[in-house]
Structure 1
Amino acid sequence: MHNISFFIPAYNCAGTIAESVDSIMKTNFNDGDELIITNDCSTDNTLAILKELQSKYPVIKVVEHKINKGGAAARNTAVENAKHDLLFCLDSDNILAENSIAPLVDFMTGQEAEVACFEHLSYFSSSIKLIDETWSFKLGIFTINDMLSGSISPGASGNYLFTKSSWLKANGYSEDLGALDTWSFGFKQLMAGCKMVVMPGTHYYHRRGHESYYLRDAWNKRRSVSLRLIKLIINYIDRIHPDDVDYIFSKKGRYSWFDNLKKKPIRVVEQNEAQKVWSEHELKATFSNKVFSKSKHYQKRLVQILTNKTRG
């Protein structure tokens, strides 16, 4: 049996986290598993609720942040304190379906994957008996090209099963991207070559509401999403088609490339093809010098863009 380190990043979630914890502990938790909750310096009575939950489930481990660091840091802290190689992240307002984790573990193991996701994301507002909408991920192997062609990505929700080795390969959750931390984490896992699979006929419950971290930080600042994700893309310039890199940094694309992925997918270049693709681009230099020069060029442009945005 493969034991799991479940973890929950928690910030001002006193009204929802008990339901999330129960959905883990009642039918999805096995002997030897662990549940780690990172309290990210909540200002409501989340800590009091966590203490009540520890009385109910003594196996729960609570890790405290003395200052608020954000969702990515809370996730990274939990993983750093996890003892098992298999990890499942559940947000503090979401709910697992009964007996849903064991089949997901078996599916991931059978597929020899490093990331495994439920097929459906069932949105609810007040009760899981009343589903508002359902999102479905592409079945089978989910690739980086799927992600960058506008397909609904498991990374957008971040509630899935993965190995600690995939977290290491991705260098953890990015702590400078706000609520884009889970999308960027999935992106980095795929760019690192991790195999991500989606299990048919499965789901979890995703709560809607005005207190959503994503709604507060990303959706309400929609115009800045593409711009903020350039900070992520710049680290992978040698793997992105040079024409698409130019588009992402263009005045037209820098604020909209992410929202327009279905109309204009971003092309990822395989590592063994990167040298050929880049050598055919406008810079006539050796591959290593070319990528280095281009990277430095775009880093300078990013600084200029962000500086001008701040002044504006």
Structure 2
Amino acid sequence: MSVNVIDGRQLAEHLVEEMAEEVKARTAQGYQTPGLAVVLVGENPASAIYVRNKIRTAEKAGLHCVVIKLDASCSQQALDEVVIELNERDDIDGILVQLPLPAHLSEERIINLISPEKDVDGFHPMNVGRLSTGQATLVPCTPLGCLEILKREIGDLSGMHAVVIGRSNIVGKPMASLLLQANCTVSVVHSKSVDAASLCRQADILVVAVGVPELVDRHLVKPGAVVLDVGINAIEQDGKRKLVGDVNFADVADICQAITPVPGGIGPMTIACLIKNTLAAAKQRGVKQPVV
């Protein structure tokens, strides 16, 4: 079987181009430019890179962007006050506080403090509840990116058996909810599952999100399956740092209908879907440009 590697970068570029056109059309209709605010606490190098990539992509789509940087030693009250101010700003439609936060700050408190209507990470309990009950809402960006890939790669997902490996609040659980809404039969496999390998081998769609380098090999994959590898792990190989997924790409790729690489697969679509969520939040708020 020839290998169909899904180019997440190219798909993300197309999605961003589509959203840029929509942003232009909305501003021409008198709506304000969608605004995204990103809060970065401390100097975590990985977080700084993620924020730069998010802002660069948002600006490509024509969004108004604000980056607020706080010292790693900032108090909980200081961070709370920044979020409260952003909640009240009319020019901001989406708020993202880059995680992880320094240990003395409460991620749960901040997630709960962000207005659900501006929660473009999709982590607020109200948005989680809406997703689980099938209501329209802001959805975590990584599973939303996975669904975008599946729809563009496969089309109609009705009746397909999807297996999600991992049950995190950020990926596994919302991914299962989205797949159910797309009319898949869904199984969620985790560390306590009985005969997990058998379930995985039944999957028409296999989504892997556990954070274990190259956990999934060909013995866990049904020939002809579509495999989405959400994991991104840094390992040492031949004295060099290398990024790999949760799937052993070299072992699995030749039996798949399609597979996402690491890097260059899910990551770019995650960022594109942050922009998608910001645009959705702006459309929901419907704020018009001020009259001069």
Q: Which has the higher contact order (CA 8 A, sep 6+)?
A: 2
What TM-score, normalized by structure 1, do the two folds share?
0.26
